[in-house]
Structure 1
Amino acid sequence: MNLAISDIEAAIDGWRQRAASDEAFAMSAEACALARLYGAVIVHGCEALADAELDDTQRHALQILSSLSTSGSDQSSPSTH
């Protein structure tokens, strides 16, 4: 599975929407992991990453968000990019 930069952006937006505050978002392990991933993608000029290139925390943050969005269909619909 390949992960595009737009997928990372969407995941960051999803975590931001679920955070109780800006401070809570900034302090979350998931947000930090995804921010590191986003920065690395930009610095290295990658267009996509393979799942195998993610560390455990990044993979976990994406899996949690994915499971929340599929089970929480009563919440507002996610933004599209």
Structure 2
Amino acid sequence: MNFAISDIEAAIEGWRVRSPSDEAFAASTEVRALARLYGAVIVHGCKGITDAGLDDAQRDALRILSADPLGEFPQ
């Protein structure tokens, strides 16, 4: 499976809604995993990444896309 940078952005936002942080600069484990991935994609100039290029935390965090393909992210 391929994930575009827009998929990563959508998953980050979905986790921010589902797991908001009480700390000003802290984020959930899922958001931190996706933020590292997002940064790497940008630094390397990629338009996305394949499933094979993900670690377990990133793969698990991206499952929000298949759980909520319409992007509604209910709390």
Shorter chain as denominator, the TM-score bin is 0.7 to 0.9
Q: Which runs of 5+ in 2 are unaligned?
A: none
| Stretches of 4+ aligned residues off by more than 4 angstroms | none
Aligned-CA RMSD value: 2.6
Aligned counterpart, 1:49:
49
Partner of 2:34: 34
CA distance in 1, matches of 2:9, 2:49: 13
TM-score using structure 1 length: 0.74
C-alpha deviation, 1:23, in angstroms: 2.6
Percentage of pairs with the same residue? 64
Give the total of aligned pairs.
73
Once the two structures are superposed, residues 17-66 of structure 1 have per-residue CA deviations (whole angstroms, 9 ceiling, x without a partner) of 11244539833111100000000000000012110000010001112x23
The answer to whether 1:2 aligns with 2:16 is: no
- Normalized per residue, the structure richer in helix is 1
Q: Is the 8 A contact 1:15 1:25 kept in 2?
A: no
Checking the alignment, whether the CA contact within 8 Å between 1:41 and 1:47 is kept in structure 2 is yes
- Check conservation: 2:3, 2:49, Cα contact below 8 A: yes
Task: Identify unmatched segments of 5+ residues in structure 1.
Answer: none
Structure number with larger C-alpha Rg: 1
Determine if contact 2:7/2:65 at 8 Å carries over to the other structure.
Answer: no
After superposition, the Cα gap between the structure-2 partners of 1:11 and 1:30, relative to the gap in structure 1 and judged at 3 Å, is: same
- Could you say what secondary structure the match of 1:23 adopts? coil
